[in-house]
Amino acid sequence: MGYHDALAMLDWQIELGADEAILDAPVDRFALEEAAAPVAAPVARVPAAPVAASPVAAASAGEAAEVARDAAGAAGDLPSLRAAMEGFGHCALSQTANSFVFSDGNPAARVMIVGEAPGREEDQQGKPFVGRAGQLLDRMLAAIGLDRASDAPATAVYITNMLPWRPPQNRKPEAAELSMLAPFVRRHIELAGPDLLILMGNSACEGLLGRAGITRLRGQWAEVAGRPAIPMFHPAYLLRRPQDKAHAWADLLSLQSRLRSLP
């Protein structure tokens, strides 16, 4: 393994949240089990009274998605949608994440990006795409004249994620999580009203297109919420596989061409 490959793998582990060394040498768990002392017989305990499941915990993914659809449909603007999402109690991630991450950029932008979920830095700062992947995304957008900090809708970008809360250890969003929160994301798109969408990564495609396999989907324009949408590689993927940046550049050029053709 070369230096750059090893560095890319280390960067990916940091993106996943593995940023702290526990021991300086491996531990032989099998040897520990053999050396362990016999376990004493368990002490009998009086069983605790069963705790009734809360309505939130008892709700199925389908029921939670229905609640999300009602709450999202009742939101008439972005602030009320944010409040509805933040108060949505059916996603367990809201109990483990540090921050609620709603959006960043200019809501009036012609281009809206839908990513996967907050990572470690996003969870700390409360904004999407602010880590190393976010820095790469900013450079990618700048290459075609777009900037999330722009006040002009023609050059601005608006960014959100399928999930507003960070999954533990940056794990992949689960299908049930994507399903229950997709109504909020679709309403988010409707209220922001962009001309074009970028679906960053597999989870965005799975949640909004019902399909996965980003290597097959990338670069192929589809339709989401009545708007043209182009799937693209997530910047975190490109940090692991810089050889695929050429595909990302082709997709950016396709996006730029679409933007120039708009009235």
Model confidence pLDDT, tens digit, residues 75-105: 999 999 999 999 999 999 999 999 999 999 9
Task: Give me the mean pLDDT over the 33-40 stretch.
Answer: 50
Does any domain span residue 20?
Answer: no
Long-range contacts (CB closer than 8 Å, 24 or more residues apart) made by 138-146: 140/235, 140/248, 140/252, 141/252, 143/249, 143/252, 144/252, 144/253, 144/255, 144/256, 145/256, 146/111
Round to whole Å and give the CA distance between 80 and 71. Answer: 10
Q: Is residue 28 part of a domain?
A: no
Q: Is 51's pLDDT higher than 50?
A: no
Is position 47 within any domain? no
Distance of CA 64 to the CA centre of its chain: 19
**Residue 53: per-residue pLDDT:** 35
In a domain, 190, yes or no: yes
Q: 32: burial class by Cβ within 10 Å (0-12, 13-18, 19+)?
A: exposed
Residue 15 in any domain: the answer is no
Intra-chain end-to-end CA distance of the chain, in Å:
50
How high is the pLDDT of residue 255? Answer: 98
pLDDT at 16 exceeding the cut of 90: no
Predicted confidence at residue 61, as pLDDT, reads 74
Element of type H or E holding 244: none
pLDDT mean across residues, the chain = 86
Q: For residue 211, what pLDDT band results from cuts at 50, 70 and 90?
A: very high
In a domain, 142, yes or no: yes
Whether the predicted pLDDT of 207 surpasses 50: yes
pLDDT digits (tens, 9 = 90+) for 121-178: 999 999 999 999 999 999 999 999 999 999 999 999 999 999 999 999 999 999 999 9
Phi, psi (deg, nearest 5) at residue 64: -65, -40
pLDDT (0 to 100) of residue 50 = 37
For the chain, how many structural domains are there in total?
A: 1
Residue 199 lies in a domain: yes
Single-letter code of the amino acid located at 8: A
The pLDDT, as a whole number, for residue 120 is: 94
Q: What is the pLDDT of residue 87?
A: 95
Alpha-carbon distance of 193 to 156, in angstroms, equals: 13
Side-by-side strand order, sheet with 111-115: 104-105, 157-161, 111-115, 196-200, 227-232, 222-224
What torsion do the CA atoms of 95, 119, 88, 156 make, to the nearest 10 degrees?
Answer: 160
Q: What CATH number is attached to the domain comprising 247? A: 3.40.470.10
d(CA 110, CA 156): 7
Domain span holding position 250: 59-261
Is 0.85 topped by the overall pTM? no
Question: What distance in Å separates the CA atoms of residue 43 and residue 40, rounded to the nearest whole number?
Answer: 9
Question: What's the pLDDT band for 60 if we cut at 50, 70, 90?
Answer: confident
User: Rounded to whole angstroms, how far apart are CA atoms 11 and 133?
Assistant: 10
Environment class of 148 (CB within 10 Å of its CB; exposed 0-12, middle 13-18, buried 19+):
buried
Answer yes or no: is 120 within a domain. Answer: yes
Per the CB < 8 A criterion, the answer to whether 212 and 202 are in contact is yes
Higher local confidence (pLDDT), 86 or 13: 86
- Cα 118 to Cα 125: distance, rounded to the nearest angstrom: 10
pLDDT at 4: 55
Q: What pLDDT score does 62 carry?
A: 83
pLDDT over 90 percentage in the chain:
76
The pLDDT, as a whole number, for residue 144 is: 98
- The answer to whether residue 22 scores a pLDDT higher than 70 is no
Q: Is the dihedral of CA 244, 250, 254, 260 positive or negative?
A: positive
Is pLDDT of 37 > 80? no
